[in-house]
A = this chain, B = another copy of it.
Amino acid sequence: MKRILLEVAYDGTNYHGWQIQPNANTIESELDKAIEHLTGETIHVIGASRTDSGVHALCNLAVFDTESRIPPEKFSYALNQGLPEDIRIRNAKEVDLDFHPRKCRSIKTYRYCILNTSFAVPTQRYYSHFYHYPLNVEWMAQGAAYLTGEHDFIAFSNQRTQAESTIRTIYSISVVRQGDMIELLVKGSGFLYNMVRLIAGTLIQVGRGYYPPEYVKEILDNCERGKAGPVAPANGLTLVSYEFI
């Protein structure tokens, strides 16, 4: 028996998120099907991040156990033959049998893209949130800075959060404009359900001038569930990378 770790990139547009659901197309179910087809075994992958419907990944992680004699590093090529083209295995390797992708210390990086211009760009419509009104990036960056460090992020969670603890660490957060695109990049130890989209939604309010940047600190300090937001749309969000530490 071997445990195989997959690095998975996907375009989330046509999926109901990562996690298997009855009668819905998900990344997890596509991976299970492709592995089962390849190995002939019944497989349920364990994913690192259960991304929502419409959220993308340049690198999510999944593990599965197999008796297959396929060399571990050959799984990427072999699985890519059977997977739809909006899911690609970047890399595959053997890991210890007790390796669990949600129980390792890691740094996760998420990117949230806001297209901030007067008209929507068709080629960007699935990969950025189009926001028509001018946003002040300096205010957004000032507001974002209050979130770095270890905090109780309960205000940046909602009813669907199942985590026992709502304490998380944000290692860094940046808000940068490149032309018409505003890119929010957040590195953290982990994220509560919808946390990055609640951060993005809150910073958009700040950039618009509805809240002063200091209001982000106030929301955080109040520790009141659902205080932040609104939740920014899924299409702007991409899970960029995983680093084990």
Q: Chain A: residues with CB nearer than 8 A to chain B?
A: 9-11, 56, 58, 76, 80, 85-91, 118-123, 125-127, 238
CA distance A87 to B87 in the complex (A): 26
Do B122 and A85 touch (CB < 8 A)? yes
- A97 to B: closest C-beta gap in Å: 26
- A39 to B: closest C-beta gap in Å: 21
Do B119 and A87 touch (CB < 8 A)? no
Contact of A120 among B56, B85, B123, B126 (CB under 8 A): B85
Do A11 and B123 touch (CB < 8 A)? yes
Do A122 and B238 touch (CB < 8 A)? no
Given A90-B119, A119-B90, CB of A11 within 8 Å of CB of B125: yes
Do B9 and A86 touch (CB < 8 A)? no
Do B238 and A121 touch (CB < 8 A)? no
Give the residue name and chain of the B residue nearest to A118 (CB).
B90
Do B56 and A119 touch (CB < 8 A)? no
Do A125 and B85 touch (CB < 8 A)? yes
Give the residue name and chain of the B residue nearest to A119 (CB).
B90
Give the residue name and chain of the B residue nearest to A126 (CB).
B123
Given A86-B125, A125-B85, CB of A119 within 8 Å of CB of B11: no
Residues in chain B near residue A120, CB distance under 8 A: 85, 88
CA distance A120 to B88 in the complex (A): 7
Residues in chain B near residue A11, CB distance under 8 A: 122-123, 125
Do B123 and A238 touch (CB < 8 A)? yes
List 14 additional contacts besides A86-B122, A123-B127; criterion CB under 8 Å: A10-B122, A11-B125, A56-B123, A58-B121, A58-B123, A76-B119, A80-B119, A85-B120, A85-B122, A85-B125, A87-B122, A90-B118, A90-B119, A123-B126
Residues in chain B near residue A76, CB distance under 8 A: 119
CA distance A125 to B90 in the complex (A): 14
- A201 to B: closest C-beta gap in Å: 22
CA distance A88 to B132 in the complex (A): 14
Contact of A88 among B58, B86, B121, B127 (CB under 8 A): B121
CA distance A80 to B120 in the complex (A): 10
Residues in chain B near residue A91, CB distance under 8 A: 119
CA distance A9 to B180 in the complex (A): 15
